[in-house]
Amino acid sequence: MVETLRSVLIKTKTKMKKTINFYEFSRWFEQNRPNNFSRVGLQGLFDYLEEYEESTGESIEFDPIALCCEYSEYDNIAEFHMDYDHENYPDIDSIMDYTQVIKLSNEAFIIQQF
């Protein structure tokens, strides 16, 4: 009996993976979560995730809802201080000591939520 690809995948519990490019990545966010990240923020996050995969050899599953929950973009440190304590995190360097920071410009950045 010839096994179908579907039955092989079910038996081995293997998932198919699709590699996405920046266009597909940004398009998903623009259509489904347009207020989560700016265009510059999307590019910064995409580049960060690609660099992470390359440096660790670990593939990342595209889970956009998890990315929305795990990362936040701020236009500047003042906006960040609306969510986090100014005393403990007075500047970008102190934030970098505590969590992952993706710099987007002189002022804008994305953090991994903590």
Asked if the model's pLDDT at residue 56 lies above 90, the reply is: yes
Q: Which residues contact 81 (CB under 8 A, 6 or more apart)?
A: 89
Orientation of helix 39-56 relative to helix 22-32, angle to 10°: 130
How do the domains of the chain map onto residue ranges?
A: 18-112
Tokens of 44: 């910064």
Please state, in angstroms and rounded to a whole number, the distance separating the CA atoms of residues 64 and 14.
21
Q: Answer yes or no: are the C-beta atoms of 73 and 38 closer than 8 Å.
A: yes
Give residue 112's pLDDT: 98
The pTM for the full model equals 0.83
Which of 88, 85, 114, 83 lies closest to 101 in space, CA to CA?
114
Q: How confident is the model at residue 15 (pLDDT cuts 50, 70, 90)?
A: confident
What are the tens digits of pLDDT across the range 23-54?
A: 999 999 999 999 999 999 999 999 999 999 99
